[in-house]
Structure 1
Amino acid sequence: MAYITWRSQLLRWQWYPATHLEPQTAATFDVLNHLHVLTLQGKVTTYEQGRGNDSHETVAETKSGELAVECIACPKPGVNLPDDWEVVDRKLFFKYFLYLAEDCCFRLKHRLVSSEAKDPGLSTGSSFFMSTCTGLAALDHANTKYSWGYATTGVGLLVCARHEFVMPNSVVDLQKGERTYIDMQTWITPFGSLLRYVDPQLTVVQSYDISMSVRMKFMPVLVKENFPLKKLMDGEGIERGWAHMGPVATSTRDMGPGNRHEVLDDHFMHWNWRKLTGLGILLRKCMCEAVAQAEIHRFVQVTK
């Protein structure tokens, strides 16, 4: 029987040995191919190593929500706003508001399968889902009406209302449904976490259909008819994200809690990445449509 060297055995498994004699370390062909692409496209070298090319911080130092793909069009002072944005005409100041929309999806249920201890998430809290333990709450509500045998009855999240990006650390599991006051208060935590990444100079406007419809009933008629922010954003944008996530409901329903969070985070990341790469085309399309509609609805004069 022919002797097969360690080097040959590793190469057969598509592992490239670091040395030809008694190798102790190897790199997969996939990693080498990835490095090859980075070298050709980005002109980087192997010396530019680290977490996201940051050689001073380790993976363990990754902050909450730091791995999420963020919206580049939302206002960020010092990044994409003019120096005099704070003194702009009041009629145009709405352009520099950060609009957030809040909603839930009850197709994304999760059965009482496994536990956080047996199936922990590898990066829960680093991108979209909040890093919170809801095991006890899940058990408390597992046998209530419409949620028999479910650890969570749905998912709630925040998106930037104008561009439909899922916001970092804004996704939470619900135990008793959207209308339950206690469940909806879980959004205080992600909203507070999210504000850590928002410049305090910005005005944040949050919309939530159920809350808005209730509050509008108690507003004076004059305020209802002259609400200054109406028609300035697409309030239904968040629904398009649920249409994208709905098809994964069946496959994630019986996963362990950690695996489920990882899969949903991955789909949210993909949604944001597609939005990011197509943002230029989308904004141009919206601008052209707005100009055309403005011309149609432009007031000229009162006819006799």
Structure 2
Amino acid sequence: MDNVRIVEEALEGLIQCLSCSGEHAWCSSCAVKAHQHNPFHNLQLWNHKFYESTTLWDQGYIVYLGHGGRPCPHFQQQSNPPPWSDLGAMEDVFGHGEGDTIYETQLGLSNLVIVHSTGVYSHHVSWCQCPGVEMDRHLHLLKARLFPTSITRPQSAFTFDVLDNFLIDALECKTSAMSFYQKLCRFTNNAFPHKIPDRYRELMRVSRIWRDLMNRICFGFGHETDRSPGPGDLALYCPASNWWIKLVGYVVDGNFTAQHMKMKTPKDDVSLADGKGYMVTEGPYDTHITESIEEKEKSSCSNHCAVNAANVQRSNLRATGVGATACARHGCFVPHAIVDFQKGECALIIYDVACQWSIHFRKRVDQSYHLSLPPSIKILPAIGKFHLSAHKLICFARFSLNFITGAGHIDGEILETLWAPFNKISPTARSMTLSHRKKVLDDHMRDSNWKKLVGIGKSPLLRNGNFD
């Protein structure tokens, strides 16, 4: 009679899914069958008193890799249940030791921690057992839209969906990697989030690789092309730059909130796309800055408070801020034209553009090995209307935008509006490695230009495609 009662309970609809639409009541086998292609749903099991969390892992779900979601022809079904089949609650699912087991050796089964947008999951994985594919497990994961955290014997993976979600969260909400992963842990188990496997460091590493791959694909460098991206090739530019025939305006401004701390082990830093976006290439810029320091000239005009504050000696900082160049009319960042401010008066040299660089600009270009300028270009220096008040009275007649033919009605301060969202990510980027910080800044500048690109054709006279 006991065996009959156990079979009847197994056939009862005791399992419901919180992620599926509508009302459902499944038995164990039906729940697994219904979620064959939805392995990241949240299930609950009725224990005759209340619903408690359960997982597809508990119900015997297996992820098959290498044959379109079907078992490998060389896979041999186990006759005995795996040693972790009696695990119960969610917190116990993640309590078992990771690594190879006797079942992985004999049957091609292992457990894999998978991070998805709805939480952190652990699944049985059946690897392809065909001859000669032992080293291709990471490729099977990629074909299943799972990004492995390592190439050899991967034990964790991130879904493409969660990597896209993290990127959008970072760009729109300025969410840090730590906050994003803690959110996933609470989605998984809000009562005991500390029992969820820690994959924060893996998220940091994988997300950097993911962003670089997506950028290369978007710009045509991700499909085994013979051409590699050059300086600024992974950056969007102002789409209206060719519309203005008479005068093209650019603004240069500094942000002293975007500081960067010195790294403890800079030799361990690895760059994936140095100088391919908006930040300049590190080596030539360092050489140029060294030459500029030796020939620096003190400004006798500008007395801006932000510059004075940046000139204070700060021994723990590698950079006191960033200097950017953008389109004066539309506020699009210029590719390969964003630099780090060095400590002391180096920031002042770069920041005091109109009074110092307008006078000695061509001289500096001619003397630098890394700079070039077409001889036909005529440079008209100007100062933004906000910064002009910090200069001497004589600068008003020489550099005011009101007196420059073709400048139009612009204030020359559009970069100030672009710094506002950057100030939200500066605390997070402050302690990153140099390469990671440059990548993060590149991503946010690219996203800013993308929003300008998709919205530049909208007319204020049109609403929903009709005149109102």
Q: Structure 2 length normalisation: TM-score?
A: 0.42
- List aligned pairs for 1:225-240, cutoff 5 A: 226-240=403-417
Q: Deviations over 1:275-296 (max 9, x none)?
A: 2122122xx2399xxxxxxxxx
1:285 alignment counterpart: 460
Distance (Å, rounded) in 2 between the aligned partners of 1:14 and 1:211? 66
Distance (Å, rounded) in 2 between the aligned partners of 1:50 and 1:14? 34
1:21 alignment counterpart: 130
The counterpart of 1:149, out of the listed 316, 320, 342, is: 316
SS of aligned partner of 1:247 = helix
**Residue 319 of structure 2 is aligned to residue 169 of structure 1:** no
CA RMSD of aligned residues (A): 4.8
The counterpart of 1:128, out of the listed 253, 269, 278, is: 278
1:106 alignment counterpart: 256
Distance (Å, rounded) in 2 between the aligned partners of 1:144 and 1:101? 22
Q: Which runs of 5+ in 2 are unaligned?
A: 1-79, 82-102, 115-121, 148-158, 161-216, 294-309, 463-468
**Residue 359 of structure 2 is aligned to residue 180 of structure 1:** no
1:246 alignment counterpart: 423
Give me the identity figure in percent: 20
**Residue 433 of structure 2 is aligned to residue 256 of structure 1:** yes
The answer to whether the 8 A contact 2:260-2:321 is kept is yes
Post-superposition offset of 1:66 = 0.2
- The change in CA–CA distance for 1:97 and 1:129 in structure 2 (over 3 A counts) is same
| Counterpart residue type for residue 269 of structure 1 | R
- List aligned pairs for 1:50-89, cutoff 5 A: 52=220, 57-58=225-226, 61-75=228-242
The answer to whether the 8 A contact 1:128-1:167 is kept is yes
Post-superposition offset of 1:99 = 1.2
- The runs of at least 4 consecutive aligned structure 1 residues that moved more than 6 Å come to 7-17, 31-34, 134-138, 182-189, 191-196, 199-204
Q: Between Structure 1 and Structure 2, whose CA radius of gyration is higher?
A: 2
Post-superposition offset of 1:97 = 2.3
- The change in CA–CA distance for 1:117 and 1:162 in structure 2 (over 3 A counts) is same
Post-superposition offset of 1:102 = 0.3
SS of aligned partner of 2:318 = strand
| Counterpart residue type for residue 57 of structure 1 | T
Q: Which runs of 5+ in 1 are unaligned?
A: 35-48, 76-80, 82-93, 288-304
2:326 alignment counterpart: 159
2:164 alignment counterpart: none
Distance (Å, rounded) in 2 between the aligned partners of 1:21 and 1:71? 51
The counterpart of 2:145, out of the listed 1, 23, 30, is: 30
- The change in CA–CA distance for 1:235 and 1:195 in structure 2 (over 3 A counts) is farther
- The change in CA–CA distance for 1:262 and 1:50 in structure 2 (over 3 A counts) is closer
Equivalent pairs counted in the alignment come to 246
Distance (Å, rounded) in 2 between the aligned partners of 1:240 and 1:71? 16
Query: RCO (CA 8 Å, sep 6+): is it higher in 1 or 2?
Result: 1
Post-superposition offset of 1:72 = 1.1
Moved more, 262-271 or 50-59: 50-59
The answer to whether the 8 A contact 2:323-2:351 is kept is no
- The change in CA–CA distance for 1:279 and 1:192 in structure 2 (over 3 A counts) is farther
Post-superposition offset of 1:114 = 3.1
Distance (Å, rounded) in 1 between the aligned partners of 2:411 and 2:369? 24
Distance (Å, rounded) in 2 between the aligned partners of 1:278 and 1:205? 29
- The change in CA–CA distance for 1:192 and 1:164 in structure 2 (over 3 A counts) is farther
Post-superposition offset of 1:157 = 0.7
Q: Deviations over 1:71-118 (max 9, x none)?
A: 21111xxxxx6xxxxxxxxxxxx6542211000000001112235422
Post-superposition offset of 1:181 = 2.3
